Amino acid sequence: MSIISRRIKSIKLSPSAAARAIVAELREQGRQIIDLTVGEPDFATPRHICEAGIAAILRGETKYPNSQGVAGLRRAVSGQFKERYGVEYPIGRIIVSTGAKQVIYNALAATLDEGDEVIIPVPYWVSYPDMVKVNGGVPVTVPCDASEDYKLTPAKLEAAITPKTKWLLMNSPSNPTGALYSREHLASLAEVLRRHPHVWLMTDDIYGSLNFTGGPTWHPLQVDPSLVDRCLVVNGVSKTYAMTGWRIGYGAGPEELIKAMATLQSQSTSGASSIGQAAALEALTGPQDCVAEFTQAYKARRDEAVSLLSDIPGLRVVMPEGAFYAFPDCSGLIGKTTPAGQILNSSTDLTHYLLREAAVAVLDGEAYGSAGTFRVSFAASMDDIRNGCGKIREACARLQ
Ligand SMILES: Cc1ncc(COP(=O)(O)O)c(C=O)c1O
């Protein structure tokens, strides 16, 4: 008899963590791998932010912080959300957690009863369905086509809603597709939500600052402020400020929800690291030049990666408008034969072939609910992007 619970047995190790382990193992064996799986900025955390963390340690901010988040950081988040979404959140309606990931987890744990449904557009971030499942919910995954730029349409949303729907979970710009919803598109989704007042909206805005269009990143609350009473806004410093290891994320929503999430957090982690919170406060309130610098660098890399990948026969790439991933459709290569005589039956086979033959690691689209695709991260150096895409091209050319 295993000691492991049914709930934990229903989920798996995050595929990005699994990929990290495989790349590390191959490198230990002496193989030179170009790693295009990485889901985090390759930049260092800017110096002024690191110094704020160090100063907090030296000031003695090393005790348990307020478990819902230190007031100063919650005030800064309130200011940022007022500026971005036009909503005034008092700090009682804001929670700071150990990454945006924990904000999402807390929200699902605080709201899902057995069998409650969460609508998740596909391709999705790998963790959403498992976070729903482990909390007793049912992920209702809704396939969104490349021909629709991988975006949820109002008709598909309408069709997915049932009396058991608790949440619609949105992520714009998206991991893994880089899809960014326009104001008009969000308005059409909001119209559907208005017809179904029992459905709550969770927006994972973690890539919101990484927008390459030159235009604004629209949020549903800007389009329809009436959703504020059933909306949880999730954000954090990981991607915007290259702070993944500091583990600070935050959320804002109706008081009853935030209170429940804070209660859970007080009984689980006792809150996010005090040092991480001091650094995050500096990130939000200090100089912002790094955000523009990072975004410009990602944009140049995106242009290079998309142009190289689009040139490979058998791949089709939708231009990512934000985040730092390209998501080629590789269905044109499925069914081809490798030089060793193996037939590639799936994107899983193709990504294994690329790792073996080209020594390039990319993530299989199946992890994102989307067979026949793979994800290429361009949070990598320009050299790695050029060499990696070049090797993918050569390996694909050897397929018959
Ligand atoms: C869509 C999405 N949401 C949330 C997260 C997690 O962010 P954090 O580091 O703040 O937990 C990630 C990280 O990969 C992500 O891609």
Class of domain 61-285: alpha beta
How remote is the CA of residue 399 from the centroid of ligand 1, in Å?
35
- Percent of the chain past pLDDT 70, that is, above it, reads 100
Q: pLDDT at position 20, please?
A: 81
**389 ligand 1 Cβ < 6 A:** no
Atom of ligand 1 nearest to the CA of 249: 10
pLDDT averaged over every residue in the chain? 96
For residue 183, how many other CB atoms are within 10 A of its CB?
13
How does residue 19 score in pLDDT terms, banded at 50, 70 and 90? confident
**242 ligand 1 Cβ < 6 A:** no
> Above 90 in pLDDT, residue 364?
yes
CA-to-CA dists, residue 137 to 116, 213, 261, 288, angstroms: 5, 36, 17, 39
Tens digit of each residue's pLDDT (9 = 90 or more) over 111-129: 999 999 999 999 999 999 9
> Above 90 in pLDDT, residue 22?
no
Q: Where are the beta strands (DSSP E) in 106-236?
A: 117-122, 138-143, 165-171, 200-204, 231-236
- Give the single-character DSSP code of 46: P
> Of the candidates 370, 387, 361, which has an alpha carbon nearest to the alpha carbon of residue 18?
361
Cβ atoms of 205 and 238 within 8 Å: the answer is no
Cβ atoms of 203 and 233 within 8 Å: the answer is yes
How remote is the CA of residue 239 from the centroid of ligand 1, in Å?
8
Cβ atoms of 372 and 365 within 8 Å: the answer is yes
Atom of ligand 1 nearest to the CA of 323: 16
How remote is the CA of residue 99 from the centroid of ligand 1, in Å?
7
Quick one: average pLDDT of 27-46? 93
For residue 341, how many other CB atoms are within 10 A of its CB?
7
Tens digit of each residue's pLDDT (9 = 90 or more) over 119-164: 999 999 999 999 999 999 999 999 999 999 999 999 999 999 999 9
How remote is the CA of residue 313 from the centroid of ligand 1, in Å?
32
The CATH code that applies to domain 6-44+290-397 is 3.90.1150.10
> Above 90 in pLDDT, residue 12?
no
**236 ligand 1 Cβ < 6 A:** yes
Q: Give this prediction's pTM.
A: 0.96
Atom of ligand 1 nearest to the CA of 104: 4
State which of 73, 206, 209, 277 you would mutate to test the pocket of ligand 1, scoring each by most atoms of that ligand within 8 A of its C-beta.
Answer: 206
Tens digit of each residue's pLDDT (9 = 90 or more) over 260-315: 999 999 999 999 999 999 999 999 999 999 999 999 999 999 999 999 999 999 99
The domains of the chain are located at 6-44+290-397, 61-285
Atom of ligand 1 nearest to the CA of 16: 14
What percent helix, strand, coil does the chain show, rounded to 5? 45, 15, 40
Q: pLDDT at position 163, please?
A: 98
> Of the candidates 367, 384, 383, which has an alpha carbon nearest to the alpha carbon of residue 375?
367
Cβ atoms of 176 and 123 within 8 Å: the answer is yes
Quick one: average pLDDT of 330-358? 94
Chain Cα centroid distance, residue 54: 28
Q: Whose CA is nearest to atom 7 of ligand 1?
A: 100
State which of 125, 234, 248, 377 you would mutate to test the pocket of ligand 1, scoring each by most atoms of that ligand within 8 A of its C-beta.
Answer: 125
> Of the candidates 147, 87, 304, which has an alpha carbon nearest to the alpha carbon of residue 212?
304
> Above 80 in pLDDT, residue 244?
yes
CA-to-CA dists, residue 386 to 34, 40, 148, 320, 357, angstroms: 10, 19, 28, 18, 17
